[in-house]
Amino acid sequence: MKKGIIKLNDGTDIFYKELGSGKNLFLLHGNGGDSTYFEYNIGTLSRKFHLYMIDFRDHGRSDNARDKLTFDLMASDLKEIFEKLSIKSANILGFSDGANLALLFTIRYPDLVDKLILNAPNIRFSGTRLISKIISIGENIFWNILPFFKRNKRVAALLLKDLKLSKNDLADIDRVVLIIVGSFDLIRLDHVKNISESIDNSRLVIVKKAGHKLARTNPDLFNKLVVDFMEGNN
């Protein structure tokens, strides 16, 4: 496994890892997480694909040279990472906020994306279940009363923000898309179904009795879904 730091043009250091060989596959973690989220997946996936993992700006071992954090900024970061690593295109797998970032990145920079895998995407705060709303609002209140933890405040604020994407934006996606969600996910199933229905060439897989972190709770199933999709077996 290769590890390193990519220094972005604004001075931000982004931690990244890469391993494996084959088609390029980026793994994008969720809110408040880092690249270790996929620790139960990389063994299987790296035998099939050339994996790239990053810690988002303000996450994990990456820092932030700016006093802001938005999905648009993170999408620009990812584009710059492609350029600095001389990646012409890649498949992208995103979990939760990573799925939201993957969606935005695909719409902003379609020529850089091959296939797209979205695990528990939500483009609207209203698309989350009540318990998730309560947790997200609670996190924001907590970090806002602690003025020294600006990084945590910026990360938590992402949970409340809608992606500025319309149904027409989703309809413009012309890549093959796999969407995975658990039947007990924190994201409402009707919201995920609406996303899937808005993307012409998408397939939705609802995993029964699974929660939000399927890649960690049932990695064998998750890995199989990813490999089958990437290899065109589903």
Q: What is the pLDDT of residues 147-205, one digit of tens each?
A: 556 778 889 888 878 888 889 999 999 999 999 999 999 999 999 999 999 999 999 99
pLDDT (0 to 100) of residue 213: 96
pLDDT (0 to 100) of residue 150: 75
Cα–Cα separations (whole angstroms), residue 148 to 55, 71, 143, 152, 198: 22, 23, 9, 9, 41
Higher pLDDT, 97 or 161: 97
pLDDT (0 to 100) of residue 115: 98
pLDDT (0 to 100) of residue 131: 60
Q: Domains in the chain and their CATH numbers? A: 2-230 (3.40.50.1820)
pLDDT of 106 over the 80 cut: yes
Confidence of residue 144 (pLDDT cuts 50, 70, 90): low
pLDDT (0 to 100) of residue 141: 61
Q: What share of the chain is helix, strand, coil (3-state, %, to 5)?
A: 40, 20, 35
pLDDT of 143 over the 80 cut: no
Higher pLDDT, 128 or 223: 223
pLDDT of 233 over the 80 cut: no
Give counts: helices (H), strands (E), the chain: 9, 8
Kindly list the strands in the beta sheet with 13-19, ordered across the sheet, starting from the edge strand earlier in the chain: 2-7, 13-19, 49-54, 23-28, 90-95, 113-119, 177-182, 202-207
pLDDT (0 to 100) of residue 77: 98
